[in-house]
Structure 1
Amino acid sequence: MPIQRFTKVYGISDAKIAPLTADPAGGPATYGTSIDVPGIKTFEISGDVEVKTLRGDNTKLATDSAISNIQVSVTHAKVSLDVLVAILGGAVTDSGTGTAEVARWDLKGATATMPAFKLEGVTPPNGVDLVGGDFHVILHKLKLSSFPDLGFAEEDYRIASFTADADPLLATDDWLSLVLNETAVAIA
């Protein structure tokens, strides 16, 4: 009997970004090493639909629509320098030793590359109707659509966030995948 095709979706327990390293027409697309998005809080997908209406003879004759954009908004509790490199560009350098170690992310004009990346999020096990199962959301090719929200907050934690627009892969035409697993599977 096939798996059921509907479920509740409760919580998010993990999200990872993987830099898109190749996307040739005809495939396969390849990705770099996955990077954890630390303290993932929200992973929200929205989209835009463009609607065209044909009118004539003083009446509506037809309507057609097409998806014109898919967008994701992500909030996470901790800032990751490696995530910033994957979504915005720049470079991280490590220096010092012992108690004087430093990790520094620098964004320069030449390194602000706005690279393409994949984003995958997953519910906790049992965050779906299937006991022991999970639900994955995968956006295969993203680019930032606005600068990430970073900074500080007076007497409070500062939540980091970013928004990105999706494009279909040239290699496979994959745009967005929703995967319901009968048995929970970790993000690779």
Structure 2
Amino acid sequence: MPLQRFTRVYGIQDAKIAPLTADPASGTPTYGALIDVPGIKSFEVSGDIEVKTLRGDNGKLATNATISNIQVQVTHAKVSLDVLAAIVGGTVTDSGTTPAQKTAWDLTKDTATFPPFKLEGVTPANGVDLIGGDYHTVLHKLTLSSFPDLGFAEEDFRIASFTADADPLLSNGKWISAVINETAVAIS
């Protein structure tokens, strides 16, 4: 018997991004290594629908609707230089020796490329109706739509966030996938 096609969704345990390295129109998309979004707090997907109404004979004759945008808003508790490089561009470099090591993300006008990336989030095991199962949401091709929220907060933790817009993959047309697993699986 197949799994039920509905579930409650409780919590988010993990989220990872992967740079989209190829999306051939007649092939298979390929992605770079997974990068953890540290301290994931929320992963909210929304969309816009454009509706056209045909009127005539003094009345409504037809309605047509199309998706005009799918967007994701992500908040996370820790800043990751690797995530910044993957979604904005720039380079991350490590230098020095203990006790003076440092790692730096540098963005220049030439390296601010806003490369496409995949984002996947998952509930904890048992975060769904199925005991031991989980729920994944995958956005297959995203591009940052506003600069990430960074900075500091007086006498408080600063929460990082970013917003990205989805495009369908050229290779298979996928925008978003929602998957219910009977047994929890790691992001891949």
Q: Same fold (TM over 0.5)?
A: yes
Where in structure 2 are there 5+ consecutive unaligned residues? Answer: none
Alpha-carbon distance in 1 for matches of 2:76, 2:39: 5
CA distance in 2, matches of 1:86, 1:6: 33
Equivalent residue, structure 1, for 2:87: 87
**For 1:20-59, what aligned pairs fall within 5 Å after superposition?**
20-59=20-59
What residue number does 1:144 align with?
A: 144
Report the secondary structure of 2:177's partner residue: strand
Deviation for aligned residue 1:57: 1.0
Cα separation, 1, equivalents of 2:132 and 2:33: 27
Q: Quick one: distance in 2 between partners of 1:182 and 1:120?
A: 18
* Aligned mates of 1:97, 1:141 — CA distance in 2: 38
**Does 2:110 match 1:107?**
no
Identity of aligned residues (%): 76
C-alpha distance after superposition, 1:114-167 (max 9, x if no partner): 000000000000000000000000000000000000000000000000000000
Query: SS in structure 1 opposite 2:149?
Result: coil
Aligned partner letter, 1:142: L
1:7-22 equivalent positions in 2, closer than 5 A: 7-22=7-22
SS of match in other structure, 2:147 = coil
Aligned mates of 1:59, 1:27 — CA distance in 2: 46
Please state how far the C-alpha of 1:106 moved relative to its aligned partner.
0.3
Look up the match of 2:158: 158
Dislocated runs of 4+, deviation >2 Å: none
Compute the displacement of 1:78 (Å). 0.1
Structure 1, gaps ≥5 residues long? none
Question: TM (normalized to structure 1)?
Answer: 0.99
1:183 corresponds in structure 2 to 183
| TM-fit CA distance, 1:26 | 1.4
How far apart, CA to CA, are the structure 1 residues paired with 2:27 and 2:154? 48
Structure 2 CA distance, aligned partners of 1:172 and 1:21?
15
CA-atom RMSD in angstroms: 0.4
For residue 175 of structure 1, report the CA deviation from its aligned partner. 0.6
Shift of 1:99: 1.1
Question: How big is the shift at 1:94?
Answer: 0.5
**1:1-50 deviation per Cα after TM superposition (whole angstroms, max 9, x unaligned):** 00111100000000000000000001210000000000000000000000
Provide the rounded CA distance (Å) in 1 between the counterparts of 2:8 and 2:118: 24
Q: How many residues align?
A: 188
1:119 counterpart = 2:138:
no
Q: Following the alignment from structure 1 to structure 2, what is the Cα–Cα distance between the partners of residues 38 and 178?
A: 22
